[in-house]
Amino acid sequence: MPIRIILVGPPGVGKGTQAALLEERLGAKQLSSGVIFRSEIEAETDLGQLAKSYIDRGELVPNGITIQMMVKRLRTDDVRQRGFVLDGFPRTVRQAEALSEELDKEGIPLDAVVSLEVDDEIVVERLSGRIGCTKCGEIYHAITKPPKREGICDKCNSPLFVREDDKPETIRERLRVFHENTRPVIDYYAGKGKLSRIDANQAPEAVYASIATALGEA
């Protein structure tokens, strides 16, 4: 049976890592809202061009367009057959409610919503230590994965840099936005009896094992 789940959690909690593991081991298709947006825009679909018009003006893409893009992908044959792991969506209660309506219409049951939980200060520590390569994009971490030579990429010898997104003050702002907009999504799914809370302050394999147990796949 295909697994259909949503991963929710703050930036830097490891949603992408867990979504990739779930796809690799359970076959469920990893669906990132950012990737779907980019593919629609690159393909110059009607929805993609509409979304781009908002992005180009520096505005948020309206919920209606976002939902249409996501549902379009959920309707595809491979997702219907393999199931899905939604990563980074829904971000607001309004999006969650609209998604529930569309899934009900399509007859697609949601198995679980997994909330990956970790203290804010751990997120700041994890993300603020990240360093990226200016050329090949390789990611390092000042504490857990430092480059062999300070400031130089091991792979291509290019200079390393700290992204604007990974500066402590920016991370704290992203966490504020998460708590304000997305924390209520967790309460929404808890109210529906769909929520599993997972301690994400563990090694990735331990987090995956906890998710698998919650899904009955251990």
Q: What is the pLDDT of residue 139?
A: 85
φ, ψ of residue 160 to 5 degrees: the values are -100, 155
pLDDT exceeds 70 at position 77 = yes
Q: What is the pLDDT of residue 218?
A: 52
**Residue 15 a catalytic site member:** yes
Neighbours of 210 (CB within 10 A): 20
| Prediction pTM value | 0.81
Q: What is the pLDDT of residue 106?
A: 86
**Residue 145 a catalytic site member:** no
How large is the angle between the packed helices 63-74 and 46-56, nearest 10 degrees? 150
How large is the angle between the packed helices 63-74 and 33-42, nearest 10 degrees? 90
Q: How far is CA 101 from CA 29, 83, 189, in A?
A: 21, 18, 14
Fill in the DSSP letter of residue 145.
B
Average pLDDT, the chain: 90
What three-state secondary structure class fits 45?
coil
Residue among 82, 174, 194, 197 flagged as catalytic: 174
Residue among 52, 80, 82, 91 flagged as catalytic: 91
For 122-150, the pLDDT digits (tens) are 999 888 888 888 888 888 888 888 999 99
Q: 211 or 55: which carries more pLDDT confidence?
A: 211
The C-alpha angle with vertex 30 and arms to 27 and 36, in degrees rounded to 5, equals 145
Give CA–CA dist 83/4, Å, rounded. Answer: 5
pLDDT-wise least confident of 2-11, 39-48, 134-143, 149-158: 134-143
**Residue 174 a catalytic site member:** yes
CB 137 within 8 A of CB 128: no
For 149-186, the pLDDT digits (tens) are 999 999 999 999 987 777 888 889 989 989 998 899 99
For residue 62 the two structure tokens come to 């309206």
For 87-96, the pLDDT digits (tens) are 889 989 999 9
For 192-205, the pLDDT digits (tens) are 999 999 999 999 99
**Residue 163 a catalytic site member:** yes
For the chain, list the domains and their CATH numbers.
3-118+180-214 (3.40.50.300), 120-166 (no CATH)
Residue among 29, 73, 126, 130 flagged as catalytic: 130
Mean pLDDT of 197-217: 93
For residue 112 the two structure tokens come to 């679980």
Q: What is the pLDDT of residue 32?
A: 86
Give CA–CA dist 127/144, Å, rounded. Answer: 11
Least Cα distance to 182 among 90, 62, 120, 112 occurs for: 90
**Residue 94 a catalytic site member:** no
CB 199 within 8 A of CB 114: no
* Strand order from edge to edge, sheet including 83-87: 29-32, 83-87, 3-8, 112-117, 195-199
For residue 33 the two structure tokens come to 């809202």
Question: What percent of the chain has pLDDT above 70?
Answer: 100
Residue among 15, 29, 73, 126 flagged as catalytic: 15
